Amino acid sequence: MQNADPALPESGVTEARLLGSDMGALAARLDLIASATHTVDIQYYYWANDLSGRFLMAAALSAADKGIKVRILLDDLNAGGLDRHFAALDAHPGISVRLFNPLRFRFNGLARLVALLSTFVTANNRMHNKNLVIDRSHAIVGGRNLGDPYFGLDHGTNFHDIDMHVSGKAAREAAGIFDTYWTATASRRVSRVIGRSPRRLGRLRAHLRQLEQTVEAQDLLQRLAAFRKDGPPVTLQQVEQIAVAADPPSKAVLRERKDWLGPRIEALIESAQREVLLFSPYLVPGKSGCELLKRTAARGVQVKVLTNSLAATDVVIAHSGYARYRRPLLEAGVGIYEQPARLTRERMHVFGSRKASLHTKSVLVDGQKGFVGSFNFDPRSKSINTEMGVFFDDARLGGRLHEELQGNLNQCLRVSLNQGALVWHNATGVVVSRDAEPLASPGQRIVATIAGLLPLESQL
C-alpha cells in the first residue's frame, strides 16, 4: 500500500485517516487485501455482483490462494444474487462464508420475498455493518457497501460516502466486533443454507480471469494505477481518542436495548457547544430526534443537517418520513441542506454519472468530536438494524472531516422558510424552487405523498 507502514503500532495507539475519495476507497480495500499476511475478515450489508464487486472477490480469492485465512460475513437480505458465488468461495479450503439472519427460501426473488414476509418480525432486522479487517492490525470501517455505486463507477446513481481507515488498537476493536458477529447465533454457515459447490469454484476462477480482460476492467485498472501514482499519499496520523463501536448482534434477533449506538450518537450531539454537522441519507429523526436537534439549536449551537432531496433519494418513502420534520426544524433555526439529484459539470468526471445520492453517515461536533459509520439518523438504524462506526475526539481528524463535509454542503441546496413557504436555494443563493421538491418527478411526488399518509415511520 502506497506509503503505508503495515507494521502494527504499539499497544494502545491508533492511527487513522479518512477515505473520502471514491476511487481512493476502492484502492485502499484492494491494497489492504493484497498486503495481508495472515487473515482477511470481510463483513458487509451488501456485496454487488458488478465490476468492483468482482474485483474485490478476486482479491479475496487471491489472498486465500496464498494461504491467508479469509472469512466473509454478509447480511443475507441482498445476498441472493450471489448465492452460487459464495457457495463456490466457501468450497475453497482457505475461505469460510457465513450469512447473517438468512432467509429460509431462496430459489428465486419471489421465494425470498415470501420468506421475508412470512417471518417479517425477525427477517426485518438486518446487519447493516461495514467492516474490513486485515491481519487484525488494519481496518476500514464506514458507510460504503461493496459495489460500483459506492466507488463512483455506476452509470446511473452513485452514492458518495466516507470511510475511516484505522490501525492498531482501533483495528483490534474492529476485529473483535467481527469475531462477535461471526460466532453470533444469527450467523449461519453458507454450506448449511445454500450448500457447497467445489465445481463452481473452478467456474468462478475462470469467470474472474475473463473479467480482467474486458475493456471495462482494463479501464478501471488504469484509473486505479493513476490514483496510486498521482493521488494523495497514504498517511495515517496518530489519534489519541478514538474507538470502533457497534451494536451487539443480539439487537437483530432479541431486541435487547443494551449498548446500542443510538444513545451514544445522541449524547455526542447533546455535547455540542458551537456547531453540529449531521449527514444522513435517510433523515427521519422522529419526535425525540427532532426535539434533540431543536433543543441543541435553542442553546445557540449552529446545527446543520444534510440529507437527500426527493429527486436524489433511492428510497422515496424514507423522504416522506423526513419531510414532516423539515418545517419544524427550520422554524427552530436548524439549517437544512439537501443533496441535489444532478451533479455539476465539474464533478461529473469524479462519479462518471449525471446523478448523485448522499450515502455519508457522519456527525461532527465543534469541529473536533465525531462519528463516521453506517448509522442513519432514522428509526431503522436506531432500533431495527445493527450498525457500526468510529467515534473520535481529535482536532486534526475533525478538521479533515469538517473539510470533507463542508465541501459537500457547498454543492447542495439550502432549504429555508419564506412567509411560510419552503424555498430551495443553490450555493450562490439563487432560488431554485418554491414549495415544490426540485427536480423530483411526478411519480416521486405521488409516492412520497401517499407514503406520508401511512403509519410507516417506525420502519423507515
Which positions are annotated as active-site residues? 128, 130, 135, 359, 361, 366
| Contact (Cβ atoms closer than 8 angstroms) between residue 227 and residue 9 | no
Q: Cα(261)–Cα(245) distance, rounded to whole angstroms?
A: 8
Angle at 333 between CA 383 and CA 382, to 5 degrees: 5
How do 413-418 and 335-339 pair as beta strands? antiparallel
Extract the C-alpha cell encoding 34.
493484497
Contacts of 246 (CB under 8 A, 6+ apart): 129, 131, 177, 180, 181, 261, 386, 387, 388, 389
**Grid coordinates 443553490 are at which residue?**
426
Amino acid (1-letter code) at residue 283: L
Q: Cα(368)–Cα(393) distance, rounded to whole angstroms?
A: 6
Q: What Å distances lie between residue 359 and 38, 328, 375, 376, 451, CA to CA?
A: 32, 24, 10, 9, 22
Cα 178–chain centre separation: 16
